[in-house]
Structures are given as structure tokens and as C-alpha cells.
Structure 1
Amino acid sequence: MLRSICFRPLERCLGIRNDGLLWHMDLKPHPSGDFSIAVMQANSSLEDQSQVYTSPSAIYIGVYDGHGGPEASRFVNRHLFPYLHKFTKEHGGLSVDVIKKAFNAIEEDFTRLVKRSLPIRPQIVSVGSCCLVGAISDGELYVANLGDSRAVLGSKCSDGKRNSVVAERLSTDHNVSCEKVRREVEAQHPDDSLIVINCRGVWRIKGIIQVSRSIGDVYLKKPDFNRDPLFLQFGNPVPLKRPLLTAEPSIVTRKLRPQDLFLIFASDGLWEHLSDEAAVDIVYKYPRAGIAKRLVGAAIHEAAKKREVRYKDIRKIEKGGRRHFHDDITVIVIYLDHDHRKSPKHDQGSVGITSAPVDIFSYNSDEIEENPVDKIFPNEESRHILAVS
């Protein structure tokens, strides 16, 4: 309770708000602009995790959409940025190889955790997470992803039209609902004609999972786990000749241009209700403060319309039951101010990490884990680090 008394006034000063199953931060500066975050919980335990790390030389953005449970997304949320930080220092800068190395280290570490946890929690072999990471360093943008969270860029139109913006998808949806991804998976398993199955109108790998790339989901990657007696007590084995899923990220790099206005990083809970163009249009037309919350609200309105219920009725539904109407939704909007050095509001020397709460419902009930920020970047001056977790 003491933490609640001390911390909540600080939240109000920073524009951080919560309401039932919603948490959001209206606006906060980073060295080259502002950013806004919002998270809406639908599951009994929040399976989405997210964070933004800022320093004078770089900004990292992470959105991790878990499935089967929250363990994998929470693990990535705690350990991925430290690996990026470590490998960037070792290799003298951020690069595609550094990002791949960080993803690989996370996959290996989580697999070891699964092995250790198997005797007490065999279900963890079926827990996984999509992983979407953005990074901006020296004017270069990197977007890496596994699964179907998505990064979209909003830019001014180049055709001379006033007050118009164009949406550009920067990530790849690794979801077998996309024909291209189905063909990719089928090509990797030429001896298995049933590798992708249509189950009641939904394409799934082996009738189990839609995403083809993830962190975790160890039982779909490692044959040994399918034969483990502990796992056999929990679930049905899936015969594996080779891994069904991979943890190899798709990575896009590009130089940021003066016409690039903002980036939207979001879990698929947003994109299943809003198109890239609709989301970009909202960000472009409305004020910055609270923009991530506005996108979440727009998605919930669309979910309500699809189910022919009112928006306010969905808001009354408790966690768990809310999942019948929409998924957990995480949105991070990063504004790109190319003339930011002219503005005194951006502290070029600041270092910080902002994380959404581990669980929105528990957070609003004052049942919250302490933030591990001091352990994430132990070499940084902790007095400069603001963390919400």
C-alpha cells in the first residue's frame, strides 16, 4: 500500500492512467520525439508484455504477445533488452547480427527454463510468445519480429497532397492465415501433407497454432519434450521429424526520412480489428496525448460492432470473459520529430525504461511485482531511470 501512496501521484504527473482492465501512459518524451503506450487486458492473466528503453544514442521498443500462458512473454520482457544492450556494446553498435544474436539467446535461455520447470509445471512446454522489437540508432530503424504482432510506419504522402498520410507495414505476419506463410511452412515440410490444417475456417499448423515463428512453444520444436513422461501426462504428443516452428526473426532495416512521422507497434489484438491504414489515419488526425489509448478504444469499438453489443457493455465484462470479445491489446506509438534538437523538452542525456504493468487487473488492485529495472541495466545510473512495471 505504501508503494501505491508514493507512486500513484508520480503517475498522474507523467500522464499515466489506469481504468479497470486498461492501463495507459498519455505521452512521454524520448530523445527524438514522444511516445505513448496503452494496454487492455482480456485474458485471466495478461499475456501481452511491452516496454520502451530510451538513451541518448538509441531507443528500443518491445511488444511481446504470449500464448498458452504469460511465462514466455514475461521472460522476454525481462531479458531481451539486456541482451540487446550487452551485444550492442560487445559489437560496437547495433546491427542485424546483434539482434539475431539476442533473439537466439532468449530462445536458448527460455528452453533451458522449460527444462528446469518441467517437473513442477509440465504445461510450460506449450507456452510461447510472439516477439516484435523496434530499434532506432543513428537515424537507422530496425524492426525484428516473430509471430503476428505488427509494426506500421506513418509517413507524409510524397504526391504533394496536403493533410494526407500513407501507411507502410514494416514487419511480416508469421501467421498461416496468410497464404504466403502457409506455402512457406508447407515447403519446409514436403513430406507432411497435413502440416497446415483448416480447422473450422481457421488455418493452423497441425491444427494447433496459427503463428509459424515464436519464442518458446518448445514441444513443437524439440522432439525430446514430446517423449518426456511428464509432458505425456499433460498433453498429446505431436510426432516431430523436424521443428514445426522457428525462432528466426524477420528483420527490416531502413534509414528514417524527414517525411516519416510516427511508428505504431502493436500486438495482433489491435490489428484483428483495425487495418494499417485506419490506425495510421487515427494517429495522424488526433492529438498526441493519449493516442495509444485512442487506438485501443477504436479497436474495442470495432470488436463491439462485430458482436453486436455496445462498447460500454464490453467494458463491464471481467478479465477472462473479455477474451470472448477481443484479445489482450498492446499499442505503442513512437513519434519521430526530426527537428527535436530545437526543442528543450527532450533531455538528450536521459536514460530510461518504461514497462507496462505485468498484469493490469492486479496492478489496479495494488498487487504488483517490484520492477527489476536496476537489474536490467546495472551499469546505468539508476537515478536517471524511470520504470513502470
Structure 2
Amino acid sequence: MVSASLMRIVSPCWRPSVEGENSSRGGDANGRVDGLLWYKDSGQHVTGEFSMAVIQANNLLEDHSQLESGPMSSVESGPHGTFVGIYDGHGGPEAAKFITEHLFGHIKTINGAEFTSENHGMSADVINKAFLATEEDFLTLVKKQWLSKPQIASVGACCLVGIICSGLLYIANAGDSRVVLGRLEKAFKEVKAVQLSSEHNASVESVREELRSLHPDDPQIVVLKHKVWRVKGIIQISRSIGDAYLKKAEFNKEPLLPKFRLPEPFQKPILQAEPAILVQKLHPEDQFLIFASDGLWEHLSNQEAVNVVNTCPRNGIARRLVKAALREAAKKREMRYSDLKKIDRGVRRHFHDDITVVVLFLDSHLISRSYWRGPMVSIRGGGG
């Protein structure tokens, strides 16, 4: 039972909105709360079923997640599809919340502007433009609030997006969240994990090389600090939306807190907002997609997560993945999972990061029917 005081904390943090969803499939349109766990066990999107869950580890829930299933364009005759967003905030929830409210709208608008009967408008270029438009809008907000709320310059979010439209899968990533495909290998009768995104994290050697090539005159562009590689010795990710203090020098000065201020000025953005984008055709052997923030992948391997989804009932599978990650975290800290379920907010913070998961099941008969028009589904959850 959730206490009244906890519900006051919970209520502003999880505000799903669902339009026209077919609730007969066993899903609760409003999602449910179990302590610091928020979840929607089952719902229907254009090409199958989905499951969502998020658990709060920080003082304030900084992650947001979003699923939109319906029109992918502002043009009435445009295609229908499914949009998934995982926005892993840091420094506060403001950037993740802003992305939730603006990114999908930009995609629909830009898609509509470029729509023709031949290309249906959706493309990697549309998605890239939408990311950059969202970034520009957020930096404009930072400028407006700079004097009254300077800390917003240090707020950012990793942004992972998946779009299924006209039989194609689009993956766009800026940051260190990850999407993994479960693909049936018929010859071996096994479902194998296929990672579809790469992390923009300084712990990855290729990311450090990219940063050094972009900033050849800065020997301190990546620094090994307490055995962890960080960009400018501050942040691990190299791409994000927000983090204005590492994008524009005008925000890297007082009244920003000293820990975010660099000793020397910079001429060009240190972090990028442009996503890495993958486009590929969906095939009948493609079974499901797991979208998750890095908190999940810190404790579960790609194949471990795929095995959980493949061997367990669809209903509540995102929640099951979150709990599997918590069990692994408990083992590392020599705790029993039964004790973990009882711990309060202060102890839960030791688990480092919020975890957000969305699982999309891919039903091939729906993917092939590109004319299929399901009910409009819109679900948004995350920090207040």
C-alpha cells in the first residue's frame, strides 16, 4: 500500500495520457505505482504490444519516457507508426521533460513539411533536424532563464529514439542509452541479441578518439579521473540535448556553480546534440526491441535481457527487466533482493541511476500491413 505522503511525491512524476486505447487487451491505461516503481504492463501499438517501466534511484526522478503510436506526420494522409523515446536526464529533470514535450512534435511537423506520396516524409534527415530543433529550443529556454535559474545550464539528457514506420526501423541516439533487438536465428532456434545503437560515452575508446579529433588543440578534452574517463574531467557522455554550459561559452561562467565552470574559454561546442542514426528494414525474424537507459545495461548484458523477454510472459515484461537489474545490483552489494524491496529512498540512491525500460513486440503480420490504422496511443512518464 502506498502512503499518502508518497503519493504526493508520485503524482506529479507520472502523468500518462492515453487516447482511444483498447483496454480490453489487459493493460491499465493509466499505469500503476509500486513504491518507487512506475509501470504499464501491457498496451497495443501499431505493430504489436508494448510494456513500460521506470524505477527511481535519484532524489528526484530525472528520466522521462514516451510512446506515441498513430500518425507520424502532420499531414492527414501521412503514415502511421510507433515512436519510442527514452530520455535519461542528468543535473535535473528539465531537459528530459522538455524533450518529451517537443521532440515528437518537431518530427511530425518536419515530416509533414517534407511529405510526398513517394517518400512518406520520414527519413534520417527528418529525425536529425528534429533533434537539432529541440536542442535549439532548449538552449533558447536556458538563455531566457539564465539570470533567474542559472543551474538550468548544467541540465541535460541522453536521448534515444526509435521509430517504426512503413516497415522500416529508425534508431537515433545521442548519449549512452541503448536499444537491443531480439532476433530469431532459425538455424539454431534461438533468439539472439543484436545491439542497434552505440554509446557516446568517454569510456569507449572510439568516442575518446572522436573527441580528440574534433578538439585537436585541447589536450584536456578527455581526462582519466578516479579511473573513469570524462569529457573535460566533468561528464562521461559526449552527446546530449542540453548541457548548455558545454555547448556555449556564454553559459560557462558566473552565476553557474564553480564545479561546472571550465578554467579556459572554448570556441566551439564540447558536446554535440546530433544523433547517430540507423535505418533498417524490419524482417519476420525480428521479435522485439528493448529500449533502456544505461541503468539497465549496467547490470544486464544484451543477451541476458533478451533471454528474459524471450522466456517470460509479455505482460509486465518491462517491470520484470527492471527487477532483474535490481537483483543483480543487490548481488553486487551483497544484499538480498527481499531486503532491497524494503529499503527507503535514502538507501535506494546507492543504486546509482534511474532505470527506464520500454519493450516493443514486433508482430510481423502488422508490420507488413502498412495501411493498418490502430487507435491513437500516447503515453508519457517521468520526472515531475
TM-score normalised by structure 2 residue count: 0.86
The code of the aligned residue for 1:14 comes to G
Aligned partners of 1:234 and 1:310: how far apart in 2?
A: 37
1:223 pairs with 2:249: yes
Instruction: Evaluate the alpha carbon distance shift between residue 341 and residue 248 of structure 1 in structure 2; reply closer, same or farther with a 3 A threshold.
Output: closer
Aligned partners of 2:257 and 2:65: how far apart in 1?
A: 33
- CA apart distance, 1:358: 3.3
Aligned to 1:150: 178
Aligned pairs for 1:187-206 within 5 A: 187-206=213-232
Aligned to 2:204: 178
Instruction: Evaluate the alpha carbon distance shift between residue 320 and residue 100 of structure 1 in structure 2; reply closer, same or farther with a 3 A threshold.
Output: farther
- CA apart distance, 1:203: 0.8
Residues 62 and 382 in structure 2, CA contact (< 8 A), matched pair in contact too: no
SS at 1:131 equivalent: strand
Aligned pairs for 1:30-109 within 5 A: 30-55=45-70, 57-92=80-115, 93-109=121-137
Residues 174 and 239 in structure 2, CA contact (< 8 A), matched pair in contact too: yes
Aligned to 1:268: 294
Aligned partners of 1:213 and 1:101: how far apart in 2?
A: 15
The code of the aligned residue for 1:335 comes to F
- CA apart distance, 1:232: 6.2
Instruction: Evaluate the alpha carbon distance shift between residue 341 and residue 261 of structure 1 in structure 2; reply closer, same or farther with a 3 A threshold.
Output: closer
The code of the aligned residue for 2:375 comes to S
Aligned partners of 1:342 and 1:130: how far apart in 2?
A: 32
- CA apart distance, 1:173: 0.2
1:350 pairs with 2:375: yes
- CA apart distance, 1:310: 1.5
Aligned partners of 1:284 and 1:235: how far apart in 2?
A: 43
Aligned partners of 2:142 and 2:40: how far apart in 1?
A: 33
Percent of residue pairs identical: 52
- Encode CA deviations 1:184-237: one digit per residue, 9 max, x unaligned: 11111111222111111111011100000000111111111124x423678533
- Root-mean-square deviation (CA, aligned residues, Å) is 2.5
Aligned to 1:366: none
SS at 2:255 equivalent: helix
Aligned partners of 1:198 and 1:123: how far apart in 2?
A: 25
The code of the aligned residue for 1:169 comes to Q
1:284 pairs with 2:310: yes
Instruction: Evaluate the alpha carbon distance shift between residue 342 and residue 246 of structure 1 in structure 2; reply closer, same or farther with a 3 A threshold.
Output: closer
Aligned partners of 2:258 and 2:201: how far apart in 1?
A: 29
The code of the aligned residue for 1:153 comes to L
- CA apart distance, 1:14: 2.6
Aligned partners of 2:109 and 2:367: how far apart in 1?
A: 28
SS at 1:14 equivalent: coil
- CA apart distance, 1:87: 1.1
The code of the aligned residue for 2:317 comes to I
Aligned to 1:161: 188
Aligned partners of 1:85 and 1:312: how far apart in 2?
A: 45
Instruction: Evaluate the alpha carbon distance shift between residue 320 and residue 141 of structure 1 in structure 2; reply closer, same or farther with a 3 A threshold.
Output: farther
Instruction: Evaluate the alpha carbon distance shift between residue 72 and residue 357 of structure 1 in structure 2; reply closer, same or farther with a 3 A threshold.
Output: closer
Residues 226 and 232 in structure 1, CA contact (< 8 A), matched pair in contact too: no
Aligned partners of 1:236 and 1:66: how far apart in 2?
A: 20
Aligned partners of 1:342 and 1:85: how far apart in 2?
A: 22
The code of the aligned residue for 2:276 comes to S
1:25 pairs with 2:76: no
- CA apart distance, 1:320: 5.2
Aligned partners of 1:151 and 1:320: how far apart in 2?
A: 30
Instruction: Evaluate the alpha carbon distance shift between residue 180 and residue 233 of structure 1 in structure 2; reply closer, same or farther with a 3 A threshold.
Output: closer
- CA apart distance, 1:17: 2.4
Instruction: Evaluate the alpha carbon distance shift between residue 233 and residue 148 of structure 1 in structure 2; reply closer, same or farther with a 3 A threshold.
Output: closer
SS at 1:316 equivalent: coil
1:243 to 269, 275, 294: 269
Aligned partners of 1:340 and 1:196: how far apart in 2?
A: 46
1:125 pairs with 2:153: yes
1:337 pairs with 2:363: yes
1:115 pairs with 2:115: no
Residues 93 and 383 in structure 2, CA contact (< 8 A), matched pair in contact too: no
Instruction: Evaluate the alpha carbon distance shift between residue 234 and residue 309 of structure 1 in structure 2; reply closer, same or farther with a 3 A threshold.
Output: closer
SS at 2:364 equivalent: coil
- Encode CA deviations 1:255-284: one digit per residue, 9 max, x unaligned: 001100000000001011111111111111
Aligned partners of 2:197 and 2:260: how far apart in 1?
A: 33
SS at 1:183 equivalent: helix
- CA apart distance, 1:341: 8.3
Aligned partners of 1:320 and 1:113: how far apart in 2?
A: 32
SS at 1:194 equivalent: coil
Residues 177 and 292 in structure 2, CA contact (< 8 A), matched pair in contact too: yes
Aligned partners of 1:256 and 1:237: how far apart in 2?
A: 45
Aligned to 1:375: none
Aligned partners of 2:111 and 2:267: how far apart in 1?
A: 36
Aligned to 1:14: 27
SS at 1:269 equivalent: helix
